[in-house]
Amino acid sequence: MTVFATAGSGVVSGGWEYVYAAYGVTWLFFVGYTVSLIVRQRAADAASEDP
């Protein structure tokens, strides 16, 4: 029995929506994490200034 398979060209056509979504989610994470660090730092500073 002989089985012949065809190989693809190795190139993904389209897929830019996935790339844009991945970059969007990554930047959303970075911005959210930065905001959380700033908020926590300000809260820690305010707590250390209280008598």
Q: Which pLDDT tens digit goes with each residue over 1-51?
A: 666 667 777 777 888 999 999 999 999 999 999 999 999 999 999 988 866
Residue carrying structure tokens 């970075």: 30
CA distance 6 to 25: 36
Read off the pLDDT of residues 36-50 as tens digits, 9 standing for 90 and up.
999 999 999 998 886
Cα separation, 28 vs 35, whole angstroms: 11
